[in-house]
A and B are shown apart, each in its own frame.
Chain A
Amino acid sequence: MGRAVAIMGTGQTHHGKRFDVSYPELVREAVQRAFEDSGLSPEDVDAVVTGTMPSMMEGIALNHLYLADAIQVVGKPLLKTETCGSTGMSVAHTAFYWVAAGLADVVLAVGFEKMYEGDSQATMTTVADPWIQRSFVAGAPGIFAMQSNMWIDRHHIPAERLREAAAVISLRNHDDAFDNPYAHIKARISLEEIKDSRIVTYPIRRWDVCPNSDGACAVLFMSEHKAKQMANPPAWIKGVGYRGDESYLGDSDKVRWNTAIDAAKEAYHQAGIVNPRRELDVAEVYNPFTFMELLLYECFGFCDFGEACDLALQGTFSRGGDLPCDPSGGVLCTNPIGATGLIRVAEAAMQVTGKAGAHQVDGAQLALAHAMGGVSQFNGIMIVGSQQ
């Protein structure tokens, strides 16, 4: 794993429709908060890593160049990494690699998106190849609805039980979002309203889907010797894993989804985790759709294949359960895509350093952060802990 690396500060914008700020001002808001949280200043930073969804989301190509001033990059090397939904996790991994390799001591990772400024689904569809898949993927809901239907069929999940479990997941995320000051969607909805909401792409209903958000997130990664000079508690990177599939959706199995299974296994191996449900205290799973959250529990070994609905209904993944998931309200309530994976990392770091405020999981010491991306093609994991 190279040198030990710690997260020493995080910053998020208030996510939502942010027409009160231009794109650079939005990014600056997150970066300033990360500096305030860490006690660092721009001159302490050796290098910067950034990421977004396709730049045409806001119609500005290579938008990290436009946003360089807001990131305070003057005099620093600047990288951009893009993997669609998993961009934020790729940004975190890239920053980690840089410090772990011994080539930098302090790296600023920033993810950002202003989804209210373009047509998000039309933009995302351009990620698919132009010959075959682009005409059929129907944005993110189309892809993940197909994957969800495969999962439902494979495990013979009865329709009513499935709808109940998905609604419980949706309600939990929406309720939890009220405890997160940065969350976008704050909606008091009932289980019945969720279950009866209109179908977007079967089996996905209105309240099974994440919003489009404007938002940014910044995280500071730091080498061991620098981190130990700081007064703040560090969140240590315990393990990372990242895997990719072929670009054609039909080329690989998306239920026993190897990129998710193997990315988690790799991270568990590095972190010395044998039983994730028992050993992890909290997980921030990339959950833009309720069904995908359930599918991913199984791929991450939080439960056996076919078990996720039953355990979700028992409260296993709620606060107070065996493994609380997405106490921030998750992607389901906040999704500025280029930032979203990095928000998972920031939230995991906040949990293990006791900084999560009203959505703090008591005594959390080991947390998993995850993001998925591509045309249902990539999965990345980062595990952080309070102990080195």
Chain B
Amino acid sequence: MTKEYRTLHTTVNLPYELAFGATLTRFFDGLSAEKILGTRCPKCSRVLVPARSFCPRCFIDLDDWVEVGQTGTVETWSLVSYEYIGMAKTPPYITGLIRLDGADVSFTHLIGGIDMSSIDQVQSRLAIGTRVKAVWATEKPGSIFDIEYFVPI
């Protein structure tokens, strides 16, 4: 039998107040109003979603705001079937990268509104290339869950 060693049970519990800044504030104001906003880079012409205050490749300031589509194409997805502390949602759920119509990068969100009881059920409704549309939450306080999920069309 191996020896049992003592362990210390402890938690670190720290509250934070994180500043959105002007650009993300406008992006989340957009979600509250059921609009998905991006910014266009004048140099590489890409429309970036979520909206950015600067282009991560050209490294120039951006202020050309555009509303992108609420429909898009699934670029990839995963059925999450395991749990850890502090998860935003209880599994099973589907997380995905969605290329919204009019955007040049992909957006992370949930894919929902389908049977997730088995991988076969999921794959009968969802694949890379599947078209999806945003389903808005009833309450929209200006968080990423103002969009409840994207549902296959």
The 0/1 profile, CB within 8 Å of B marked 1, for residues 131-148 of chain A is 111111111011001110
Q: Which of B100-153 contact A (CB under 8 A)?
A: 105-110, 119, 122, 127-129, 144-145
CB <8 Å contact, B97 and A250: yes
Q: A59 to chain B: which residues have CB within 8 Å?
A: 10-12
The 0/1 profile, CB within 8 Å of A marked 1, for residues 79-110 of chain B is 11110111111000001110100000111111
- Expressed in whole angstroms, the Cα–Cα distance for A388 and B127 within the complex equals 50
- State the Cβ distance, B60 to closest chain A Cβ, in Å: 15
- State the Cβ distance, A130 to closest chain B Cβ, in Å: 6
Q: Which of A56-71 contact B (CB under 8 A)?
A: 56, 59
B18: CB under 8 A from chain A?
Answer: yes
CB <8 Å contact, A138 and B80: yes
CB <8 Å contact, A19 and B5: yes
**Residue on A nearest B10 in the bound complex, by CB:** A59
CB <8 Å contact, A200 and B97: no
Instruction: Find B80's partner among A134, A198, A201, A248 (CB 8 Å cutoff).
Output: A201
**Residue on A nearest B3 in the bound complex, by CB:** A20
B7: CB under 8 A from chain A?
Answer: yes
CB <8 Å contact, A122 and B10: no
**Residue on A nearest B118 in the bound complex, by CB:** A199
**Residue on A nearest B24 in the bound complex, by CB:** A131
CB <8 Å contact, A201 and B81: yes
Q: How many residues of B contact A (CB 8 A)?
A: 45
- Expressed in whole angstroms, the Cα–Cα distance for A200 and B83 within the complex equals 9
- Expressed in whole angstroms, the Cα–Cα distance for A251 and B54 within the complex equals 13
B70: CB under 8 A from chain A?
Answer: no
Q: A199 to chain B: which residues have CB within 8 Å?
A: 79, 81, 119
CB <8 Å contact, A125 and B84: yes
**Given known A146-B77, A201-B79, A248-B105, contact A138–B56 (CB-CB < 8 A):** no
- Expressed in whole angstroms, the Cα–Cα distance for A130 and B80 within the complex equals 19
Q: B5 to chain A: which residues have CB within 8 Å?
A: 19-20
- State the Cβ distance, B84 to closest chain A Cβ, in Å: 4
The 0/1 profile, CB within 8 Å of B marked 1, for residues 223-251 of chain A is 00000000000000000000000111111
Q: B79 to chain A: which residues have CB within 8 Å?
A: 199, 201-202
Q: A125-B86, A201-B82, A250-B97 are in contact. List 13 more A-B contacts (CB 8 A).
A: A19-B7, A56-B12, A132-B108, A135-B88, A136-B110, A142-B78, A142-B80, A146-B95, A150-B97, A199-B119, A250-B107, A251-B48, A251-B106
B residues with CB within 8 A of A: 3, 5, 7, 10-12, 18, 20, 24, 28, 48, 50, 56-57, 75-82, 84-89, 95-97, 99, 105-110, 119, 122, 127-129, 144-145
